[in-house]
Amino acid sequence: MSEFLTLLPPPDALRLLLENLVIEPQPERVPSAESLHRVVVDSVIAPLNLPSFIRATVDGYAVHSADTHGAGESLPAYLKLVGEVRMGTMPVAPLQSGQCMIIHTGGMLPEGADAVVMVEHTQQALTDEIEILRAVGVGENVLNIGEDVRRGDEVIAPGTRLRSAEIGGLMALGITHIVVARKPRVAILSSGDEVIPPGEPLSAGQVYDVNSYTLATSVERAGGKPVIYGIIPDNPAAFRHSAERALHECDIVVFTAGSSVSARDLTAQTIDQLGQPGVLVHGVNVRPGKPTILAVCNGKAVIGLPGNPVSALIIAGIFVAPLLDRWLGLQSIRPKPFVTARLTVNLSSVSGREDWIAVRLIPTAAGYDAEPLFGKSNLIFTLARADGLMRIHPDANGVAAGSSVKVQLL
């Protein structure tokens, strides 16, 4: 039976892979409206002040704040109503002392006004007179020019992954196109004589291809562009041909091999022949996913994942996702969503090995319980039934029931 090389902890294995890669984000210009989850390459500089004019934050009346001093329900201030500020237009005249104008949220304050009284704090005594029932100070209920962003400010730093909020900000500044990192093409090659495409008639001893599709969605979610190459027969010539084609056409190559030792060896041998320096890691101290292969061939990352669907998906999260972050130039890595929960059973582990456990979250009066879902790594619905993954640190020998644990949401 083939022996693995020295088993490395996952962080050390990832570090070794990244140290052997020289990657620069490749820019492309896309419509801002279509840039969700894309990573910005260059600084985005505000071309204008935001807001670009002094505007109301509430519905009410534009006033001179000094005219409201001392006003209250028992002793209102009385102001003459001289008009209304129409939305999307400039006020027709400046506001004089003792006057007020109707204004709506987002409306432009007339010259001379320095505050807005909420409509809830007023009453209309006469057709052209408003009772002010609450005093306001200078700048109350208004946004000043540039209060959000000043012209020339860096509003989005390079390496930022765009969310809905950033896209809204781009639109508020009138920026309709933005330069982002090109999505890396990630080749996905699945192998195994027993594996067939979903939808074909299933014979005894055969299984449908799961990994190509779970890995493709995982790559897409992490910011890459998956390219599925189909199923490779378990023979050296087919492996070599598909691997060379994928390495030529794509930026990253991901193999998912059968679980047999011979299949793993064939993957490792093929990868090692693709280019220098070749295989860097063959075996990682993690469960599931020990037979992981990490390599660099002619400047491109090549990763061999276990064939078991759960193992492949978990290991892709540990190695492929951070690799894509580096490829995209991601700098601002936001925390992954997690839930703190109470472990329901004792879990054992081996010191020095990192374990990932699929868990189901059960709501309780005190929060959540984390119930491990025990299943072999080739049972995809073990993971499909899970709400998240729990990590057992390599320094631990296990985790006791009742312990507070962090569950990384799937």
- Please state, for a pLDDT cut of 90, what percent of the chain lies above it: 73
Q: In whole angstroms, how far apart are CA 272 and each of 8, 268, 278?
A: 18, 6, 5
Burial class (CB in 10 A: 0-12, 13-18, 19+), 374: exposed
Among 93-107, 138-152, 306-320, the least confident range: 306-320
Among 9-23, 189-203, 388-402, the least confident range: 189-203
What is the total residue count of the chain?
A: 410
**What digits encode the pLDDT tens for the residues 188-215?**
999 888 888 888 888 888 888 899 999 9
* Confidence at residue 2, expressed as pLDDT on a 0 to 100 scale: 43
**What digits encode the pLDDT tens for the residues 234-267?**
788 888 899 999 999 999 999 987 544 555 567 8
* Confidence at residue 87, expressed as pLDDT on a 0 to 100 scale: 94
Domains of the chain in sequence order: 10-26+182-328 (3.40.980.10), 27-50+147-181 (3.90.105.10), 55-143 (2.170.190.11), 338-409 (2.40.340.10)
73 — phi, psi (to 5°)?
-65, -30
pLDDT of 77 > 80? The answer is yes
What are the DSSP E strand ranges found in 283-400?
Answer: 286-287, 293-297, 300-305, 338-343, 347-348, 354-364, 367-372, 388-392, 398-399
**What digits encode the pLDDT tens for the residues 32-67?**
999 999 999 999 999 999 999 999 999 999 999 999
Identify the band that residue 352 occupies on the pLDDT scale cut at 50, 70 and 90: confident
* Confidence at residue 199, expressed as pLDDT on a 0 to 100 scale: 87
* Confidence at residue 3, expressed as pLDDT on a 0 to 100 scale: 47
**CA distance linking residue 195 with residue 210, whole number of Å:** 9
Identify the band that residue 226 occupies on the pLDDT scale cut at 50, 70 and 90: very high
**What digits encode the pLDDT tens for the residues 368-392?**
999 998 876 567 887 888 999 999 9
pLDDT of 95 > 90? The answer is yes
pLDDT of 393 > 80? The answer is yes
**What digits encode the pLDDT tens for the residues 124-153?**
988 999 999 999 999 999 999 999 999 999
* Confidence at residue 268, expressed as pLDDT on a 0 to 100 scale: 83
> Whole-model pTM?
0.83
pLDDT of 354 > 80? The answer is yes
Average pLDDT, the chain: 91
Among 95-99, 203-207, 405-409, the least confident range: 203-207
Q: Residues 373, 356: contact at Cβ < 8 Å?
A: no
Q: Which has more confidence, 294 or 310?
A: 294
Q: In whole angstroms, how far apart are CA 275 and each of 171, 191, 279, 284, 297?
A: 45, 21, 9, 22, 4
**CA distance linking residue 227 with residue 189, whole number of Å:** 9
3-state secondary structure of 122: strand
For the residues 345-355, what does the mean pLDDT come to? 90
**CA distance linking residue 396 with residue 250, whole number of Å:** 39
Burial class (CB in 10 A: 0-12, 13-18, 19+), 130: buried
* Confidence at residue 161, expressed as pLDDT on a 0 to 100 scale: 95
For the residues 167-180, what does the mean pLDDT come to? 97
**What digits encode the pLDDT tens for the residues 250-309?**
999 999 875 445 555 678 888 888 999 999 999 899 988 888 999 999 999 999 998 888
pLDDT of 1 > 50? The answer is no
